[in-house]
Chains A and B, each alone.
Chain A
Amino acid sequence: MTRRDTDWDGVRLHVVTGKGGTGKTTVAAALALALATDGRRVLLVEVEGRQGIAQLFDCPPLPYAERRVAVAPATPDQPGGDVYALAADPESALIEYLEMFYGLRHAGSALTRFGVLDFATTIAPGLRDVLLTGKAAEAVRRKEGGRRVYDAVVLDAPPTGRIARFLNVSAEVSGLARVGPIRGHADMVQRVIRSPETAVHFVTVLEEMPVQETLDGIAELRDLSEPAGSQAAGHGAIAAHGSPYRPGSPGSGDGGRAHPAGGFQVGGIMINMVRPAALAGEQLRAAARGQVDEDDLALSLKAAGLDDSRRLAADLATELAEHATAASAAQGRRRRLARTGRPCYDLPLIADGIDLAGLYRLAAALRDQAAA
C-alpha cells in the first residue's frame, strides 16, 4: 500500500480550531474525509454538544458512540476509507472513564443525582476539558488485536479563543491536583497532545478578527511550548491576550516536525471560504485606489447591449472598487498568516451551503494541497 507524502505524515491526532463562523466543524469534517483513504479509518470527534457533525453529514443526532457517518470515495489511484464520528460530552466521558479505570459500574445515576457534572464544570472547567481531550487521546491509542483501531483522529475543538486553555490540560489540572489519579490521567493526555503525533490546525477566513485571533492563538500555543513557558504555565501565561507574534519561536518554519519535547505542534492554517479575485495585479491595485476607467467600462457595457451604460458603469465601478479594497485587505492578511511560517491551505467558498458533495470538494482541495 503506497501513499503519497503529505505535510502531516506521522500525525495521528489532528486538532482543528477556529473562530466562530469560520467553518471549523466543516473543515474538520473535510479533513477527516481527506484522511480516510487507502482503507484507512478515521474518527471525527466533536466536543461542544452542537451536533454539528450530524447536521453536516445529514444523519440523526450522534449518541455517545462511534458511528460510521461517511465512506470516503475511492479514486482511480486510491481506494476509499471510512469516517466514524462521535459526539463526546463530559458527562458520558466521565462515566466511561470511571467504568474503564475504576470498574465503577452504575456510577452514572449517582453522579447525575448529585449534580457532580454541574459541579465540575462550574468549579473546575479544566476537569471537563481533561475528560474531552482524554476521550480523543484514548481513541488515538486504542488497539484491537494489536492493531490501531483508528489511523487518525480529528478533533473538532473549541474556538481559537479557548484552544490554548483547552489543550493545556495538564497545567489546568496541576494547579488543582498535584498528585492523584486525575493528575495521572491528565499527564497521559498531555503526553499525547504534546507529542509529534498531534498537530493543531487553525481554520480562518481572510477577515480581520479571525486572522488576528489565529495569530494570537498560534502565539499562545508557542508560548506554552517553550520550556520556560510550560514551567510557569498555569493561568498567567494564558491570560496574555494579543501577545505579539514572535517570529522564530521554536517549532516554526521547518514544517513543524522538529519541536522541543513537550511543545504543541502548530499545524497548518486552513484559509476557508476563499473566493477568486475578479481582478489581478495592477488592475486590482488601481481599483482599490478607486481608479476604475468608467469610460472604458461604459463602452464595453454599451457593446454588450446594456441600457444606460454610463450610469451602470459608475455603479459597477463602485462595486469593483469595493471588491478591490476588500481583496487587497485580504491579501495583506494572507501575508500576515504566511509570516507564521506555517503552511497555508486554501479552501474554496462553497456557494449555496455545505452538503456532502461540498465536503468532498473541500476534502479534495485539502488532498491536492498535501494537507492530507
Chain B
Amino acid sequence: MTSGAGGSVTAGRVRPPRLDVDGLIDDRRTRIIVCCGAGGVGKTTTAAAVGLRAAERGRHVVVLTVDPARRLAQSMGLTWLDNIPRPVPLGERAGPGTLHAMMLDMKRTFDEIVETHADPDRAAQILANPFYQSVSSSFSGTQEYMAMEKLGQLHRAGEWDLIVVDTPPSRSALDFLDAPQRLSRFLDGRLLRLLTAPAKMGGRAYLRLLNAGVGVVTGMLTKVLGAQVLRDAQTFVSALDTMFGGFRERADYTYRLLRAHGTAFLVIAVPEGDALREASYFVERLDSEGMPLAGLILNRVHQSPAAHLSAARSLAAAETLATAGPAGEAPAAARGAGPHDLAVAALRLHAERMQQAAAERRLAEHFTAAHPLVPVAEVPAQPDDVHDLAGLRAIGRWFGQEEGSRQPA
C-alpha cells in the first residue's frame, strides 16, 4: 500500500492518514461540521473546541449543543446556555473571528414552529393538546428532529459562516440521521391518514370507507387506548397535518443540507470497544448515505512521555526495587514504608499506562484496518475536566497542527 491518500503499514502497524482539522476549518467552503458518536465520548467538548479553534482562526462560528452540561457553558465564560446563540467572549485573543454558542431547547424550538406557522388561537389549541405536550417534550426522536430543524434555521439565518453541531446523546448515534426521514414516514403513514380521515371528512362519513383491516385496528386502538385518547390523538394529528405541511419539505431540506458540499462529519470516539464499534457503524452509514466524512477524532488516548520504557521492563524494575527494601516489608504493598516506595508506585503506574496504551492502540488499529482511508486525529486523556477556554484551546491544539497527534513510534 502506498502512503498518501490512504493509510500506510509500517512494521505491521496500521497507520491511518492524519486528520487535518485546521485544513477543514480554514477552508471557507466548510459551512457545517457535525460531531457524532456514541454517548460519553466527549462530543460536546470536541464540538466546543472545534468551534473555538475555528473562531480564533478567523471564522464566524456558532456552536449548537444539545448537552445541558453547565460546565461546558462555564468553560466558555457563560453562566448558562439557552435556545438563543450567545456571544462567547474570547478575551485578548479576539481576532476577526467570532464565537456564539447555544443549547437546543427542543420544546421551545417546537413551540416556536407552532407559533410561527399557526394563527394564535390554533397555536394555543395545539400547545395545550396532551399529545403535543408529550411529543414536544419527549426525548425519543423529537430531540433529533429539533436539532436538525435548528441546524436548518441557523443555516438559513446566514449570520455565521460555520455551524458546529453536536448530535443528541441518542440510544444510537445513528438516530439523528434517521429523524428527518422518520418524520416523513410518519406523516405518510397509513395510520396517520386513517386518524386524520375523520377530521378531513367530518362526522361519521369516513366510517363507511373503512375496510375490514382498518376496522380491526381502530377497534383495537379504541379498546386499548380508550375513545378519548383516540380523539385527542386525532385532533393533534390533524393539526400536524394541516399546519405542518411544510414539515416534510424542511426535513428533506435539512437532509439534503447534510449531504451537500460544505458539510463535514467528524466521528468522535474513545479507544474503547463499544465506542469504536459505534464509530465503525457510523462511518459505514455515512458512506452509504453519501454523507461527507472528514475523519475520526479519538479522545482520551493514553500516552506516556517515557514510552521507551516498556511495561515489562517497568514491572520488572518495580519488582526488583520492591524486594530490595528492608526485610519484613510486604513487597506488594505500594503504600508500605520501603525506601523505594515512590519509584515502585511510579513504575507500576507506568506499566499500567503502557499496557492501557497498547490495548488502545490495538483497538485503534482494528478500526483503521477496517477503514484504512478514514483520517484520524488523537487527543490525549486530560488529567482533569476542561473548565475554561484555555482547556478547550489545549484540546484544539491536539487535533490542529501544532502538536503531533500520534505517539512517537
Residues of A within 8 A of B (CB): 19-22, 48-50, 97-98, 102, 104, 107, 110-111, 113-116, 118-119, 121-126, 128, 158-159, 161-162, 165, 172, 175-183, 207-210, 212, 234-235, 238-239, 241-242, 275, 278-281, 283, 292-293, 296-297, 300-301, 303-306, 312, 315-320, 322-323, 325-326, 329, 351-353
Contact = CB atoms under 8 A, between A and B. Distances in A.
Nearest to A210: B40
5 contacts: A22-B40, A125-B140, A176-B134, A180-B228, A239-B107
Given A123-B237, A300-B343, A183 B306 contact: no
B217 interface: yes
B263 to A, nearest CB: 25
A365 to B, nearest CB: 19
A297 B344 CA distance: 9
B334 A279 contact: yes
Given A179-B228, A208-B385, A21 B39 contact: yes
Interface string B291-312: 0000000000000111001000
Given A20-B38, A320-B349, A323-B349, A315 B225 contact: no
Contacts of B185: 115, 118
B226 A278 contact: no
Contact of B335 (A98, A235, A279): A279
Contact of B39 (A126, A159, A207, A292): A159
Interface in B332-352: 334-335, 339-350, 352
A20 B39 contact: yes
A275 B348 CA distance: 13
B226 A180 contact: yes
B140 A312 contact: no
B390 interface: no
Contact of B306 (A210, A304, A305, A312): A312
B384 A325 contact: yes
A208 B226 contact: no
Q: Tell me the dominant secondary structure on chain B's binding face.
A: helix
B228 A162 contact: no
Contact of A48 (B169, B171, B226, B385): B171
Nearest to B318: A304
Contacts of B309: 306, 312
B69 A180 contact: no
Contacts of A50: 171
A325 B381 CA distance: 12
Given A179-B226, A319-B346, 14 more contacts: A49-B171, A110-B217, A114-B213, A122-B186, A242-B68, A278-B348, A279-B334, A292-B346, A297-B343, A306-B309, A319-B353, A320-B346, A326-B384, A329-B385
Given A20-B39, A296-B342, A177 B317 contact: no
Interface in B131-145: 131, 133-135, 137-141
B354 to A, nearest CB: 10
Contact of B69 (A104, A172, A209, A323): A209
B367 interface: no
A312 B352 CA distance: 16
B273 A301 contact: no
